[in-house]
Chains A and B, each alone.
Chain A
Amino acid sequence: DVKVTQSSRYLVKRTGEKVFLECVQDMDHENMFWYRQDPGLGLRLIYFSYDVKMKEKGDIPEGYSVSREKKERFSLILESASTNQTSMYLCASSIPGQLVDEQFFGPGTRLTVL
Chain B
Amino acid sequence: AQSVTQLDSQVPVFEEAPVELRCNYSSSVSVYLFWYVQYPNQGLQLLLKYLSGSTLVKGINGFEAEFNKSQTSFHLRKPSVHISDTAEYFCAVRESMNYGGSQGNLIFGKGTKLSVKP
* Count of interface residues, chain B, beta-carbon cutoff 8 Å: 27
How many A residues, CB 8 Å from partner? 26
Q: How far is B49's CA from A102's CA once the two chains are assembled, in angstroms?
A: 8
Partner of B42, one of A56, A96, A107: A107
Of the listed stretches B12-20, B66-74, B77-85, B98-106, chain A binds B98-106
Instruction: Give B6-55 interface residues, CB cut-off 8 Å to A.
Output: 6, 9, 32, 34, 36, 41-46, 49, 51
Known: A41-B110, A42-B109. 18 other contacts (CB 8 A): A40-B110, A42-B6, A42-B108, A42-B110, A44-B108, A48-B105, A56-B102, A90-B44, A96-B100, A96-B104, A99-B51, A101-B49, A102-B46, A103-B106, A105-B36, A105-B44, A105-B45, A107-B41
